[in-house]
Chains A and B, each alone.
Chain A
Amino acid sequence: GQQVMQIPQYQHVQEGEDFTTYCNSSTTLSNIQWYKQRPGGHPVFLIQLVKSGEVKKQKRLTFQFGEAKKNSSLHITATQTTDVGTYFCAGKTGANNLFFGTGTRLTVIP
């Protein structure tokens, strides 16, 4: 089956520190999406990357799609307590499927 791995599984940071999570796929992806799940909530869409080497920014969040379209990263600059949650990448290999990564749970210590 589809393998989308994320590292690290858990990350604890001091408020104000940066945070990065990495996503790796065993197969080439048509696009990649990122989601955030707050504690007790459901995953909510953040962004979609389609092009090889694409970089997108949302305020303090920077998303990158690898040149080979097999990996991606999410970087948060100067974390805040509101960033707490689990971040998932999700890859599409076909038109209709959507396989999620294992997720990175971020804890921000005030």
Chain B
Amino acid sequence: DVKVTQSSRYLVKRTGEKVFLECVQDMDHENMFWYRQDPGLGLRLIYFSYDVKMKEKGDIPEGYSVSREKKERFSLILESASTNQTSMYLCASSSTGRRAFFGQGTRLTVV
């Protein structure tokens, strides 16, 4: 079975801190995604990557950056965390044209 692992289930950070959310997949998928989930807004795409060192902006990239140095790892970076970035963050991976597999999610609280 495909496994997508997010580094933390729960995270509490202070305003202004730099935050790293890590995601690792074990199925050699070329595509990886970062979403944030907020009530009533569904899953909004922040960034996705279709290959190592390649990235594309999703719908809400402001305040975020990403890094994909290795195929299995996709990191989401909050350069300077703000309270409006408090949310559930979901990582996913897929092969091109195929289903996406999700990690368990990281609930980030910025205080």
A residues with a Cβ closer than 8 A to B are 1-2, 6, 9, 31, 33, 35, 42-45, 48, 88, 90, 92, 95-103
Per a CB cutoff under 8 Å, which of B41, B58, B90 touches A42?
B90
A32 CA to B96 CA, complexed, in Å: 13
Contact size class for B? 20 to 34
The 7 closest A-B pairs by CB, nearest first: A102-B42, A100-B43, A1-B59, A45-B99, A96-B50, A42-B102, A103-B42
Given the interface contacts A42-B103, A45-B100, does A97 sit within 8 Å of B43 by beta carbon? no
- The smallest beta-carbon distance between B5 and chain A, in angstroms, is 12
B residues with a Cβ closer than 8 A to A are 30-31, 33, 35, 40-45, 48, 50, 56, 58-59, 90, 92, 94, 96-105
Q: Are B43 and A1 in contact (CB under 8 A)?
A: no
Q: Can you give 16 A-B contacts (C-beta < 8 A)?
A: A31-B97, A35-B100, A42-B90, A45-B99, A48-B99, A96-B31, A96-B48, A97-B58, A98-B33, A98-B94, A99-B58, A100-B43, A100-B44, A102-B41, A103-B42, A103-B43
